Chain A
Amino acid sequence: MSIFENKKDSIETYRIIVFLSPFLILLFFAFLQILNLSYFNSNIYKTQSDSNRLYQSKIAPQRGFIFDTKNTLLVENNIQQDLEINPSFIENPRVFLKQISDLLDLNFEKIESDFYVRATGKSSQEPYILIKDLNEQQIAKLSVNLKKIKGAEIVSSFSRNVIHKDIMAPVIGYVGNISREDIFNNPELTKFKSLKIGKTGVEKDFDSILRGNMGYRIQERDSYGKLIRNISIEPPLKGKDLKLSIDLDLQKKLFSDFKGRKGALVAIEPRTGLIRALISSPTYDPNLLNSINDYEEVKSLLADKDSPLFNRALSGQYPPASTLKPFVGMAALEAETISWEKRIVDSGEYFVEGDDRPYKGWKEGGHGNVDMKKAIIESSDVYFYALAYDLTINNLSPFLEKFGYGKQSGLTENEAKGILPSRKWKLGYIGEAWFKGDTINMGIGQGYITATPIQIALAYATLANRGEIVKPRIIEKIGGVSTEKVSNLNISLSDNQNWKRIEEALLGVVEASNGTANNIYDRNIRIAGKTGTAQVKSIGETEYKFLREDESLRDHALFVGYGPVEDPKLVVVAIIENGESGSTVAAPLVRKAINLYSKNEK
């Protein structure tokens, strides 16, 4: 029997079917669409579903620790709690920020500006730190209320802590955010974006070792940004620890003598090249820089006219002054323009033929009849004027270059080279021809020549090593593996006796009654050394007395020495800016360093 059998009734059935059909057709198309979604394009939607819920985030590695040579901890990481926000979960920033500022009792305007400033350069999906280093009270408040606030989370991070602050600052340096320039120079840093990297010092030079490796974590989050669970975690790799050659005790004791003084000190083991102390004064608290985010906070540090951030030990370029004299002497012996015993009359003034302008010695009336030994011991200027004049710049410069003048020491790339003048150099940089008078000035380490404290220390280390040039090192161990001594060059003299002769003269500086540093004589530990007084400005005598009133124009005091002479353990150079005489302020420092170190060694 058909449903249409009864013609009279079938009108309703017919109409039902007619008005049912549009919905059946709609349902048919709906099914086609479902087929399209969940069969033909399922993979696309599966990916979208995953990207909805899955978030990859980085886990910052812990930076390597730094120890001193006796394994005293110098740099550690403090764990701090920060408030991290994820902008993609924040619906209304104003409401969100109001909630946060009310909760933590913080200034709304400050938070708001941080919110926008820190967001610049980031994608809207990228979480970032809004408030650093929450205190315990804030953490307690947040952990109770954070469930109600979408898009904020407490995360822990590490902050760098230099334990001995200013004492170690010139060695350690500080860390800072990765700049655009950093990434330009090293594109690999892109993946470390959220980290801080070393900006100066050991932190910078050994950044790739200290840095470690990023960890990654895939998290599942709901539509409110709430963490559901961790899907997978690839833990970060902690950076390797560094053991420095610096002896913290020595550094500390020497540093205390630099209070209120500007200057630098470098103490280096001549046999190994290991640096045991490195001081630059004035200095700064690196933790201040480790924790800042913008330069506003350290403006005063940068604007300080004494430049505490400037590393004088590595980049301060001073006239080597009289500390250069032993090398000038050796150069002359080597060129055979003079013999060890030859005497020259020092009447206090030196004249060049055809020029009636005198070159004055530091001592009025002169030192009388002097040979090289006496000239070094008493630091005769006239003797070395004559020596340099006879030697000429063409012989002097190449000889000094062998001892490292005018070249970076090789400790780090971020140090100054000093100036080792030559005819070519002067023509290029000053634009003038070389005058004989320039050579004469250079004979006493003045004029155009400048050197960094570490260069001076290394030149004397080479002297103490009888010609073996050792590359300076400040790292003893990287992650437990010792670094190797590097020495691949030897300076050989035509007469090996000359090493001994110069050393004897340097011993005399301290031990002879007429020595310029006789004040630090101590027969228990014999020190060979040389004083120096670097003129800040070349000036005439009349102006000199007047200018002494201005401290910043006073001469720099230098002393460099090594000892014990029988088996040199340490070469120390000390420079006190505007300290006037090398023997009174700089020499005792060197004596102290060598005594402390020798005692320690026993």
Chain B
Amino acid sequence: MKNNPLSFSVNLKIDKSSNNTPQFDYWILFSVIFLCSFGLAMIYSSSNSLEMTIRQGTYFFLGLLGMLLLAFSNFRKMEVFYLHSFWPAFFLLIIVLLFPSENSKTNRWIDLGLFTFQPSELMRFILPISAASFLTKNLKTKMKDMWFVIFVTLICFYLVAIQPDLGTSIIILLAGLLPVIISGFPWIYIFFGGFLVTLSLPLIWISLYDYQKQRILTLFNPEADVYGAGWNIVQSKIAVGSGGLFGKGFLNGSQSQLNFIPESHSDFIFSVIAEEFGLLGISILFFIYGILIYRLLMVSFYSSNKFAKIVSGTLSIILLAYISINISMVIGLLPVVGMPLPFLSQGGTALIVNLLTIGIILSLRKEV
């Protein structure tokens, strides 16, 4: 035990003194509430629209309710429900391709009159839970089940990719494959799969849309086309850089206030935070995200239940993937793909889904 390289985690562990009286993790709750409230403030700052902020606030309220409901539910009883919830989500994924919202060029949203929502967001949340439930139905996971989950995942990936929504489709891939991998998919297949993907990269490039190719090319030389495809990256880098150490102050970021950053309230909200609160604000944000991810991972690490381990592990990785990919794209490290910053970006479905994710992980804690 002394020689274990990862034994540092031990000292920071959650209170395990009473195994039978479940403790509610206030660290997770408060960091999520902080992030969402901060997100509302930043949405107001970047959009100057009280209406949009109130709308997002409503989603936050609904999401928070759902999160608490799930948090206090017994996940063992819910497992059957989780297992079968895949099918309605899958159904919606097909529906959105057949009856997309008419207000958009892409087939991502279903228009329900009062609000629109994204089935792909729902799927990336349902898929890992459903898969984990499916994989753990037997004491020892069967290879046959794993292959089935991989197959289903690839279908979902395809359905989202043709919407087209490259960003979410990659997340779907993670959401479906991570449970398989975590539950012990043989390394040899994993490496072989990775090898296949690498080989097919030219094929993937060919199948990309022109605007997607442009975004990737732009990444390497954004200054080449400042007023075209490179605009987003150039302007958001200026916003981040000009924020400096302490930022320009709330509501005072000229880049965001004067509309130089497109999508500043949704995918590019990070650049608004960086501009108005500077490196200091970013560091605090990183710290809070750090606490959240750390506590979520601890749920997985200390759980003795395989389902709980897979679900909380997968959802934590997906959350981290969202954070790291979104930030990297905003500062020009990755191509621009549609990926919101969790809890902060404007967008109802994503917020509610993220809150529900937290709710489920919180419910898993009961088994610690």
Contact = CB atoms under 8 A, between A and B. Distances in A.
B244 A220 contact: no
B108 interface: no
Interface stretch (A16-24, A331-339, A581-589): A16-24
Given A11-B184, A49-B242, A19 B10 contact: no
B321 interface: yes
Interface in A15-56: 15-17, 19-20, 23-24, 26-27, 29-31, 33-35, 37-39, 41-42, 44-46, 48-50, 52-53
Given A27-B327, A52-B254, A223-B259, A15 B182 contact: yes
A221 interface: yes
Nearest to A5: B1
A586 B125 CA distance: 105
A566 interface: no
A46 B247 CA distance: 11
B331 interface: yes
A544 interface: no
Nearest to A49: B242
B217 interface: no
Given A26-B328, A37-B331, A45 B240 contact: yes
A123 B239 CA distance: 26
Given A20-B297, A42-B242, A222-B258, A12 B6 contact: no
A33 B324 contact: no
A20 B320 contact: yes
Given A38-B240, A42-B241, A42-B242, A6 B254 contact: no
A52 B245 contact: no
A30 B278 CA distance: 15
B316 A37 contact: no
B182 A12 contact: yes
Contacts of A6: 304
Contacts of A35: 279
A430 interface: no
Interface string B274-307: 1000110010001000000000010011101010
A16 B297 contact: yes
A220 B259 CA distance: 12
Nearest to A224: B259
Interface in B240-285: 240-245, 254-255, 257-260, 274, 278-279, 282
Given A19-B178, A23-B324, A26-B325, A33 B304 contact: no
A52 B243 CA distance: 14
A127 B63 CA distance: 50
Nearest to A13: B301
B241 A45 contact: yes
Contacts of B230: none
Interface in B1-33: 1, 4, 6-7, 9-10, 13, 16
B35 interface: no
Contacts of A27: 286, 320, 323-324, 327-328
A15, A37, A41: which has the most chain B beta carbons within 10 Å?
A37
Contacts of A45: 237-238, 240-242
Could you tell me the dominant secondary structure of chain B's interface residues? helix
B181 interface: yes
A46 B16 CA distance: 50
A35 B325 CA distance: 17
B317 A20 contact: yes
Interface residues of B, number: 55
Chain A interface residue number, banded: 35 or more
B236 to A, nearest CB: 10
Contact of A221 (B13, B258, B313, B325): B258
B259 A19 contact: no
Nearest to A9: B304
Contacts of B239: 49
A34 B331 CA distance: 7
B242 A12 contact: no
A41 B279 CA distance: 12
Interface string B160-195: 000000000000000000100111100000000000
B276 to A, nearest CB: 12
B309 A13 contact: yes
A425 interface: no
B310 interface: yes
B333 interface: yes
A41 B331 CA distance: 13
B342 interface: no
B340 interface: no
Contacts of A23: 317, 320-321, 323-325
B348 interface: no
B228 to A, nearest CB: 11
A38 B243 contact: yes
A30 B328 contact: yes
A356 B313 CA distance: 131
A228 B258 contact: yes
Contacts of B128: none
A33 B279 CA distance: 11
Given A38-B274, A42-B242, A45-B242, A19 B181 contact: yes
Given A6-B304, A20-B316, A33-B333, A49 B255 contact: yes
A1 interface: yes
B91 to A, nearest CB: 29
A222 B323 CA distance: 29
Nearest to B260: A223
B39 interface: no
A2, A220, A222: which has the most chain B beta carbons within 10 Å?
A2
B332 interface: yes
Contact of B279 (A2, A38, A50, A221): A38
Interface in A550-583: none
Nearest to B280: A38
Contact of A2 (B1, B255, B282, B317): B1
Nearest to A17: B6
Nearest to A54: B254
A4 B331 CA distance: 37
A30 B309 CA distance: 28
A3 interface: yes
Contacts of A222: 257-260
B270 to A, nearest CB: 9
A48 B222 CA distance: 15
Contacts of A53: 254-255, 258, 260
A194 B229 CA distance: 35
Contacts of B257: 222
Contact of B317 (A1, A16, A31, A221): A16
B255 A16 contact: no
A12 B310 contact: yes
Given A2-B1, A41-B241, A220-B254, A12 B260 contact: no
B243, B304, B325: which has the most chain A beta carbons within 10 Å?
B243
Nearest to B16: A1
B238 A52 contact: yes
A1 B301 CA distance: 12
Nearest to B286: A31
A39 B181 contact: no
18 contacts: A12-B183, A12-B306, A13-B300, A16-B300, A19-B182, A23-B320, A26-B325, A27-B324, A35-B279, A42-B242, A45-B238, A48-B242, A49-B242, A49-B254, A52-B260, A53-B260, A220-B258, A222-B258
Given A38-B278, A42-B244, 6 more contacts: A1-B16, A2-B1, A13-B301, A31-B286, A34-B274, A52-B258
Interface of A: 1-6, 9, 11-13, 15-17, 19-20, 23-24, 26-27, 29-31, 33-35, 37-39, 41-42, 44-46, 48-50, 52-53, 220-224, 228
The 4 A-B residue pairs with the shortest CB-CB distance in the complex, in nearest-first order: A45-B241, A49-B242, A222-B258, A16-B313
